[in-house]
């Protein structure tokens, strides 16, 4: 007679364990494929954004062009000058992508998009650590995946996708280290990678981790293995900042070093898109559609702070918001590291709603909120489909959102648990429609197309030539596409270059609009127009020495 153990469900523990492993693999694979679809499809079809992508791409290209020199990877440059705006990890990853796939928009955005897709899996893993149950972890990952700011900023060639990935890896490793101290080394490495991406956020997340451990597992903070793992992990980040301090004379003061750690953005970049429509779009993408679910999840976490998941979510949100209010970071997308914590709160709230007894009504405010969102989406679809028609994408996207929100409101009113998969699927489809459209970077609609102007510059100017322009704002993407340094100047300075540089045996290349050409009285025979540039109101004025 066999003595093989069986469970009460008449299945052996080994078979149960195998089925669990296969189920986990299925969820992992499904989430990762869904993330790859939203993060990689149509990634390289639109030009780089001026806000930050142009600078990142140019620094990465200079690293790539000098990749045989180790110093170029440690001390990056922008047009030959030291680049001290932020640590170079993202630029180094893009340079590696350039070596594999060439210099183009897709390879520029690929590293951040891949790391952003991996962060979806990490949200699921964190959910499994703190909730144990699979459903709230899955809901948390799907909420995170269908948040528009997460998808958009991870797809752009910025530091946000890698930063989210390293942040979540650090928190997951800290949670794992409560049972196995070896994971503290992974947590330290993750914090080190964060410091090489954006230093100030590393400090914010470190405060979150310490606050959580003081509340939940204070013994870890006094463990020599835990402290040793952290120190070993953050050594690369500390070493890089120390190297910058010793290498550059620009960092002779402590204030300069703090500026490097905090990260710099030029004033032009901060006010580049100062239009009402831009700020409206920015606000809407942060608000819709998960706000009501996340806030309900925060209230639930506040009532369950005696559990580990409640402690983590409240410390994560409370401490990080406090550091933002203390002016650690003033950028609108500085709240992105909050989204994983809010997604975990929302996932736990959806799990609670799913398990409510049939005699308890769902929150009526949810019904009204999704009905209102459906009406807003329908109104926007009619506006872009009739009054301000651009193409079929915008009405189609708004129609998909309106149907999703309306169906969600109806199923919630009918006490149907199916509103959860319905909402996830509808948002995923709507998000997919957005990313295959030319509107997922809507900031490009507010500025002139950069590629025709760059083609004009490449055609009529020598390489590495400095071009002076009458543009009111700096456009880093124009520098990248033209492979020339474009310097914005006032009319008086442009006139001085036009008159004085040839006397010093210097050729003069000015990129001017029609009004400035008339103001400077530049002869017509020195103007180099082209058919694309005429419609863009930009021409090259060339004067040989």
Lowest mean pLDDT among 328-337, 411-420, 473-482: 328-337
What is the reported pLDDT for 491?
Answer: 82
- pLDDT value at residue 497: 81
Looking at the fold, whether 457 and 441 belong to one and the same domain comes out as no
532 and 431 fall within a common domain:
no
Same domain for 338 and 372, yes or no, is: no
Banded model confidence at residue 224, pLDDT cuts 50, 70, 90 = confident
> Are 312 and 283 part of one and the same domain?
yes
Specify if 436 maps to a domain. Answer: yes
User: Which pLDDT band holds residue 9 (cuts at 50, 70, 90)?
Assistant: very low
Of 291, 318, 343, which residue constitutes the final position of a domain?
Answer: 343
Residue 333: its pLDDT value, please? 55
Region of poorest pLDDT, from 151-160, 420-429, 457-466:
457-466
Residue range 188-194: mean pLDDT, rounded: 91
Dist CA 399 CA 374 (whole Å): 9
511 and 471 in contact (C-beta within 8 Å)? yes
Residue 325 pLDDT > 90? no
Distance CA 272, CA 284 (A): 19
Domain with 220 in it: 13-343
Q: What pTM did the predictor assign? A: 0.89
Q: What percent of the chain is predicted at pLDDT more than 90?
A: 44
Choose one of 308, 343, 378: the last residue of a domain: 343
Buried b (16+ CB within 10 A) or exposed e, 346-364: bbbbbbebeeeeeeeebee
For residue 277, the model assigns a pLDDT of 56
SS (H, E, C) 134-189: HHHHHHHHHHHHCCHHHHHHHHCCCCHHHHHHHHHHHHHHHHHHCCCCCHHHHHHH
* Range name among 193-197, 224-228, 256-260 with the lowest pLDDT average: 256-260
Q: Is position 7 within any domain? A: no
Does 57 map to a domain?
Answer: yes
On whether both 426 and 474 belong to a single domain, the answer is no
Q: Which residues contact 68 (CB under 8 A, 6 or more apart)?
A: none
Q: For the residues of 88-142, what is the DSSP string, one character each?
A: SHHHHHHHHHHHHH-SSHHHHHHHHHHHHHHHHHHHHHHHHHHH-SHHHHHHHHH
Q: What is the pLDDT of residue 177?
A: 92
| Inside any domain, residue 3 | no
User: What pLDDT does residue 251 have?
Assistant: 54
Same domain, 313 and 365: no
**Both 407 and 425 in a single domain?**
yes
Note the residue count of the chain: 545
- Among the listed ranges 41-45, 320-324, 525-529, which one has the minimum average pLDDT value? 525-529
Instruction: Please check the confidence at residue 533 and state whether its pLDDT lies above 60.
Output: no
- 319 and 367 in a single domain? The answer is no
2 domain-assigned: no
Are 93 and 206 members of one domain? yes
Contacts of residues 482-485 at CB distance under 8 Å and 24 or more positions apart, as own/partner, are 482/453, 482/454, 482/457, 482/458, 483/458, 484/457, 484/458, 485/79
Please indicate, yes or no, if residue 493 is contained in any of the structural domains. Answer: yes
- Mean local confidence (pLDDT), 407-428: 94
434: burial class by Cβ within 10 Å (0-12, 13-18, 19+)? Answer: buried
pLDDT at 253: 59
Q: Which of 445, 464, 485 is the last residue of a domain?
A: 445
**What value does the mean pLDDT of the chain take?**
84
**Residue 310 phi, psi (nearest 5):** -65, -40
Q: Where are the alpha helices (DSSP H) in 326-390?
A: 339-354, 364-382
Are the CB atoms for 539 and 522 separated by under 8 Å?
no
pLDDT value of position 448: 83
Q: Are 89 and 162 part of one and the same domain?
A: yes
Residue 350 placed within a domain = no
Model pLDDT, residue 316: 94
pLDDT at 272 over 70: no
pLDDT of residue 2: 45
The pLDDT of residue 274 is above 60? no
Mean predicted confidence (pLDDT) in 472-485: 89
124-135 average pLDDT score: 93
179 vs 8: which has the higher pLDDT: 179
Residue 468 placed within a domain: yes
Q: pLDDT digit string (tens) for 488-523?
A: 888 888 888 888 777 667 788 888 888 888 888 888
Side-chain half-sphere CA neighbours of 261 within 13 A: 20
> How many domains, the chain?
3
271 in the same domain as 154:
yes
Q: Is the pLDDT of residue 144 over 50?
A: yes
Whether 417 and 279 share a structural domain: no
Q: What integer pLDDT is reported at residue 162 of this predicted model?
A: 94
CA distance 275 to 293: 30
Number of other residues whose CB lies within 10 A of the CB of residue 511: 26
Give pLDDT, residue 265: 46
What's the rounded mean pLDDT across residues 536-544? Answer: 79
User: Has residue 137 got a pLDDT over 80?
Assistant: yes
Range 26-48 average pLDDT: 94
């Amino acid at each position: 007679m066999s003595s093989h153990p069986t469970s009460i469900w008449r299945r052996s523990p080994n078979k149960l364990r195998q089925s669990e492993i296969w189920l986990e693999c299925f969820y992992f694979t499904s989430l990762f494929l869904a993330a790859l679809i939203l993060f990689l499809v149509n990634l390289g079809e639109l030009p780089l954004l001026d806000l930050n992508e142009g600078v990142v791409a140019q620094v990465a290209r200079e690293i790539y062009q000098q990749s045989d020199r180790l110093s170029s990877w440690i001390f990056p440059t922008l047009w030959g000058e030291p680049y001290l705006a932020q640590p170079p990890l993202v630029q180094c990853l893009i340079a590696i992508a350039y070596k594999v796939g060439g210099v183009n928009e897709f390879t520029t955005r690929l590293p951040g998009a891949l790391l952003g897709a991996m962060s979806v899996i990490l949200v699921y893993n964190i959910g499994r650590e703190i909730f144990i149950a699979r459903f709230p972890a899955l809901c948390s990952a799907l909420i995170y995946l269908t948040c528009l700011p997460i998808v958009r900023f991870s797809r752009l060639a910025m530091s946000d996708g890698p930063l989210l990935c390293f942040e979540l890896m650090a928190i997951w490793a800290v949670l794992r280290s409560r049972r196995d101290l070896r994971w503290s080394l992974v947590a330290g490495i993750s914090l080190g990678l964060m410091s090489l991406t954006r230093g100030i956020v590393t400090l914010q997340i470190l405060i979150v981790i310490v606050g959580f451990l003081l509340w939940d597992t204070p013994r870890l903070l006094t463990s020599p293995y835990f402290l040793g793992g952290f120190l070993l992990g953050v050594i690369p980040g500390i070493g890089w900042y120390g190297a910058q301090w010793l290498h550059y004379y620009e960092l002779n003061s402590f204030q300069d070093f703090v500026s490097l750690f905090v990260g710099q953005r030029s004033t032009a970049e901060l006010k580049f898109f100062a239009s009402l429509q831009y700020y409206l779009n920015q606000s809407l993408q942060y608000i819709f559609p998960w706000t009501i679910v996340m806030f309900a999840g925060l209230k639930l976490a506040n009532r369950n702070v005696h559990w580990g998941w409640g402690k983590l979510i409240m410390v994560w949100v409370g401490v990080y918001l406090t550091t933002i209010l203390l002016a650690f970071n003033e950028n609108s997308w500085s709240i992105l590291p909050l989204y994983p914590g809010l997604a975990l709160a929302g996932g736990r709230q959806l799990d609670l709603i799913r398990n409510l007894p049939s005699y308890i009504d769902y929150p009526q405010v949810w019904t009204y909120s999704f009905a209102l969102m459906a009406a807003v989406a329908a109104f926007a679809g009619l506006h872009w489909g009739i009054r301000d028609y651009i193409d079929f994408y915008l009405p189609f996207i708004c129609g998909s959102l309106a149907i999703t929100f309306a169906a969600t409101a109806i199923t919630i009113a009918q006490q149907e648990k199916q509103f959860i998969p319905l909402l996830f699927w509808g948002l995923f489809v709507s998000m997919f429609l957005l990313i295959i459209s030319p509107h997922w970077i809507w900031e490009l609609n507010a500025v002139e197309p950069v590629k025709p102007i760059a083609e004009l510059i490449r055609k009529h100017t020598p390489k590495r030539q400095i071009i002076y322009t009458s543009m009111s704002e700096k456009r880093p993407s124009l520098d990248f596409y033209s492979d020339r340094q474009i310097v914005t100047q006032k009319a008086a300075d442009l006139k001085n270059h036009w008159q004085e540089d040839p006397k010093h045996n210097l050729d003069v290349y000015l990129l001017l609009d029609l009004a400035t050409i008339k103001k400077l009285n530049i002869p017509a025979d020195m103007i180099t127009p082209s058919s694309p540039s005429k419609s863009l109101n930009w021409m090259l004025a060339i004067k040989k020495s």
